[in-house]
A = this chain, B = another copy of it.
């Protein structure tokens, strides 16, 4: 799952590890607070071995800091990596519908075609509905066997499930009618670039590629 996220970010612009972690944190802040380096670096190594990314020392012309010793390493996606990213984006296994997997896929929906978006949203809805039914069963059947705190936990979980199903329903409706996802709480507006044609989906904006500056 992390593989998809890394490939997705590197598709926008090359980066070094530290930067990648920060971008990951802001893009996936809802899913996972901050990715650990103990995960990030081994994953990068794996991706490099698989030929999906290349690592290169940041070109010396751009470094005022880091005189020598151990320079920072800039990671860059390869053609194979882009292909891999597209594959991962489109294919949906069971792990696509758990909390982490769905979050990552959703975060890259602007690079996903509408059919896939709908498939994933519906798969996720199904998953949450199952969880919801499980909780309802427990609450109705096993209520007498559980203490008040456990019951309160289940109730809160059930509530969250119902809320998420409604959210997904709304998103699905929007997708079908071809509208952008900016449904609720309209206090933040969408950048004007949104109207310009985007590579895959036709309306969702890419991040404007910050030019990977080392120092301004």
Contact = CB atoms under 8 A, between A and B. Distances in A.
A99 to B, nearest CB: 9
Interface residues of A, number: 55
Interface string A144-175: 11111111111111011001000100010000
Nearest to A142: B26
Contacts of A148: 110, 180-182, 190, 194, 204-205
Contacts of A181: 148-149, 152
Contacts of A147: 109-110, 204-207
B149 A207 contact: no
Interface in A182-200: 182-185, 188-191, 194
Nearest to A194: B148
A66 interface: no
Interface of A: 26-27, 29-30, 33, 103, 106-110, 131, 134-135, 138-140, 142-157, 159-160, 163, 167, 171, 180-185, 188-191, 194, 204-208, 210
28 contacts: A26-B138, A26-B146, A27-B146, A27-B150, A29-B131, A29-B135, A29-B138, A29-B154, A30-B153, A30-B160, A103-B153, A110-B147, A110-B150, A139-B188, A140-B188, A145-B208, A145-B210, A147-B207, A148-B181, A148-B190, A148-B204, A148-B205, A151-B190, A152-B171, A155-B185, A155-B188, A159-B184, A160-B163
